[in-house]
Amino acid sequence: MKKSWKIILVVSLILNLLIVYVGYKALEYRGHINEFLNKYTYVVDEFSGRNHYLKENRYYHSDTTVSRRVVFIGTQLTANWELSKSFPQIEALNRGIIGQRYSGYLLRFRSDVIALAPQAVVIEFSSYNFRPESQIEEFMEYTQSLAELARVNNIRPILTTVLPVGSDFDVEMKIPYAIADSIKVYNNWLRRYCEEKNIVYVDYYKLMADSLGNFDNRYLANQIQPNQVGYNLLSRIVLETFESIGITSGR
């Protein structure tokens, strides 16, 4: 075989390999683009979660306070709670969205809470909101804003402390982050805030934590979620709170 043909074959092989490589990288880049597009779409279209309960909210919309109606707004703890079974004495409306950030509550609070004119609202948020890039003061401000929005619209706010996390909770972050410490700081602030502002609160943390401050294994389904025994305990303490402020009697 002439030397020139050998050169052509080698060059052709290199070009074919290059084409294959470029094609592979193009598919890889396309995957990254789709991933970022999905994240962008979620942030723009679904971050607030306003459409999640759109149809149900049309049915429950009211211009006057509905006696014994309570809205529960929160994340997976609330979303997975069988409220109708736990609170048959009242009209408990579930407005929990799994995985939602705390700031998203503000964006849907008018449509998911205020427009339904409940007698009270139970506000819960999840431990995974605590991240190195987030300031605890930010969550304090969200809490204050939600409580004030409720009060100015004649809705009684009931705030809850953040649940503890399991002893082997993995924050899935590359840098160390003591999430349990952040939860304690926020919960201590919340108790003081509620006492100063005369706001009712339910201490989920105290009920679910063991002696070390971890989620008690007796009540744990996964690292941030209670099992049915845990839900039963939470239901009991929340019901006692409702009774103490006259929600179950409609006062």
Judgement on whether residues 35 and 19 belong to the same structural domain of the protein:
yes
Q: Distance between alpha carbon 196 and the CA centroid of its chain, in Å?
A: 26
The full DSSP string for 180-244 is: HHHHHHHHHHHHHHHHHHT-EEE-HHHHHB-TTSSBPGGGBSSSS-B-HHHHHHHHHHHHHHHHH
197 domain residue, yes or no: yes
Please tell me what DSSP assigns to residue 68.
E
Judgement on whether residues 104 and 206 belong to the same structural domain of the protein:
yes
**What is the reported pLDDT for 35?**
47
Residues 6+ apart with CB under 8 A from 169: 179, 180, 223, 224
**What is the reported pLDDT for 222?**
85
Distance (Å, whole) CA 169 – CA 179: 9
Amino acid at 182: S
70 domain residue, yes or no: yes
Judgement on whether residues 37 and 118 belong to the same structural domain of the protein:
no
125 domain residue, yes or no: yes
Judgement on whether residues 99 and 185 belong to the same structural domain of the protein:
yes
174 domain residue, yes or no: yes
Judgement on whether residues 58 and 31 belong to the same structural domain of the protein:
no
Judgement on whether residues 84 and 172 belong to the same structural domain of the protein:
yes
CATH code of residue 147? 3.40.50.1110
The total number of structural domains that make up the chain: 2
Judgement on whether residues 18 and 75 belong to the same structural domain of the protein:
no
- Residue owning tokens 């290059």: 18
Distance (Å, whole) CA 1 – CA 9: 11
Judgement on whether residues 24 and 58 belong to the same structural domain of the protein:
no
35 domain residue, yes or no: yes
**What is the reported pLDDT for 124?**
95
251 domain residue, yes or no: no
**What is the reported pLDDT for 25?**
58
Judgement on whether residues 36 and 98 belong to the same structural domain of the protein:
no
Judgement on whether residues 191 and 218 belong to the same structural domain of the protein:
yes
Range of the domain at 222: 54-244
13 domain residue, yes or no: yes
**What is the reported pLDDT for 180?**
83
Distance (Å, whole) CA 209 – CA 160: 14
79 domain residue, yes or no: yes
**What is the reported pLDDT for 24?**
62
Mean pLDDT split into 10-residue runs, the chain, 251 residues = 60 66 59 45 57 93 95 95 96 94 91 97 87 82 96 97 80 59 93 97 95 91 90 97 89 70
Model confidence, pTM: 0.79
**What is the reported pLDDT for 40?**
38
Collapsing DSSP to helix, strand or coil, 52 comes out as: coil
Judgement on whether residues 210 and 101 belong to the same structural domain of the protein:
yes
Judgement on whether residues 59 and 177 belong to the same structural domain of the protein:
yes
Secondary structure E strands in the chain: 66-74, 91-96, 118-123, 156-160, 200-202
